[in-house]
Structure 1
């Protein structure tokens, strides 16, 4: 792969533009320097703290259980990747319905397993409301600042442009799996709630894994490698779960604040990504009814579980 090709994939030099854009190269170089400095600092100063945190979580059954649940939910992206290995074509209608159902499950889990317990904690009502708004706001900022595309790369895109989009989509999905793991970790105080949250997130991760695997396959990557990459995007969720359990423990009001923050983040994913994407794939009526029925059934199941 030539240097010019690499810069085009990274977006530094568009097809048809001679030479490199000096400003973009300077920004990229600055980003590499900052990233390198960050890695050096983390390696020298942060590694002992990270290791201590890992040991603490391993020694605390409730925290370890939450991380395990998050890992299981994250691994569900691998199921979506495996689906690519046996599918000859992708039915947008079926995929859209699945996304709507998963969105309904996430909505119910966000409200019943996270937000309601947060606001019912004594003295935490205002904190929970602010935290939920913060969670929604942070996801909004990430959505606006991180370059990504939701649809699978179409046949009209070719070469470096399709490759760039597929890679950005993979990175973006991996990044937004971190707050999903945070949601499971934040609800560790209620193991049934954590289980319900992990289940809903896991359901939502299956179509995400299929989308990632299909995007990578569309640029010529082998199906098995694409499926493995889809699994890898979900395995960052235990990291988010670890952050969630540590925040909830370190701060007396950390549990309701973390749960409400995670609820706001999940609400953004449902409202801004899943429902609009499902509508595009399968239509408004089917999406509304599928998501609505899923929300009600999940709410009943969570209430029965005592979440």
Structure 2
């Protein structure tokens, strides 16, 4: 329980860590570096999904369990994408008034963090406990950092003060703590839900990788750098798993 709380809090606060960059560099971060950060995050999440979540879901369940959980994770993210208007943060260069559109972007990012929190909670409830949970919390936390920066950057482009943008972006990640608690308790109370939860987490992460991170990292002509960053992210996660 304590490990889960620590992991979920650190993962959620990494959104604020990334957003804190806006206090110092504002618009000076190039598209190239943002693409590299996004692709690196995608590699981290890919390794965590395919080497940890999917094998654990198969080990504690079976292929049917994996299929149902993956499908559920993808379905939930698809519904969120369709229900909440989504603005491509990475490629937004012109500001618009901070009105309903800006609020929708904040709501969209917050909602997209819900499955990530569930992933962390379920991972800590699995038989592999702390090692699995720590890996997933790390993977999601590393993905949250550039996301937090991009949200803060978007808000600054809408004429919001840097400190206020930092606070708002940080708050979008705190929802992960609540859903991590929910995922942990559900999986702990109903042990049969663990393989479904692990597969759900894998499906949600794979959706984010292919739908969000990879396209956004390839949208400004930095495909080579993003590709290498993606591979380095995978290797980084393997190195972390080897030394854990």
TM-score by length of 2: 0.91
Question: Residue 288 in 1 paired to residue 230 in 2?
Answer: no
Contact 1:167 1:216 (8 Å CA) reproduced: no
Aligned residue in 1 for 2:116: 180
One of 116, 140, 144 as aligned partner of 1:205:
144
Distance between the aligned counterparts of 1:172 and 1:202, measured in 2? 18
Aligned partner (choices 108, 119, 129) of residue 67 of structure 2: 129
Cα offset for 1:282? 5.1
Q: Could you tell me which residue of structure 1 aligns to residue 187 of structure 2?
A: 248
Q: What's 1:158 paired with?
A: 96
What are the superposed Cα offsets for residues 87-107 of structure 1, whole Å, 9 maximum, x if unpaired?
A: 052311101101100110011
**1 CA distance for matches of 2:96 and 2:232?**
39
Are the aligned partners of 1:182 and 1:262 in contact in 2 as well (CA < 8 Å)? yes
Alignment of 1:1-307 (within 5 A): 63-88=1-26, 89-121=28-60, 123-151=61-89, 153-155=92-94, 157-159=95-97, 163-188=99-124, 189=126, 190-281=129-220, 283-305=222-244
C-alpha contact (below 8 Å) 1:77/1:234 kept by paired residues:
yes
- The answer (yes or no) to whether the contact 1:193–1:302 under 8 Å persists in 2 is no
Relative distance call for 1:251 and 1:275 in structure 2 (3 A) is same
Distance 1:177 1:289, change over 3 A: same
Higher relative contact order, structure no. (Cα contacts within 8 Å, ≥ 6 residues apart): 2
8 Å CA contact retained: 2:43, 2:233: yes
Question: Contact between 1:79 and 1:209, CA under 8 Å: does it hold in 2?
Answer: yes
Unpaired runs of 5+ in structure 2?
none
SS in structure 1 of the partner of residue 237 of structure 2 = helix
Provide the rounded CA distance (Å) in 1 between the counterparts of 2:160 and 2:236.
39
CA distance in 2, matches of 1:205, 1:130: 26
Measure, in 2, the Cα distance between the counterparts of 1:129 and 1:302: 25
Give the CA deviation at 1:239.
1.1
Preserved contact between residue 150 and residue 169 of structure 1 (Cα < 8 Å): no
The 2-side partners of 1:102 and 1:115 are apart by 18
Q: CA deviation at 1:303?
A: 4.2
> What secondary structure sits across from 2:219 in the alignment?
helix
Which range is displaced more, 112-121 or 232-241?
Answer: 112-121
Q: What is the CA-CA distance between 1:287 and the residue it aligns to?
A: 1.7
Deviation of residue 300 (structure 1)? 3.9
Q: Deviations over 1:261-306 (max 9, x none)?
A: 111001100110001001114522222221122113312432443x
The answer to whether the 8 Å contact 2:14/2:141 transfers is yes
What's the TM-score, normalizing by structure 1? 0.73
* Separation in 2, partners of 1:134, 1:208: 24
Listed as ranges, the gaps of 5+ residues in structure 1 are 1-62
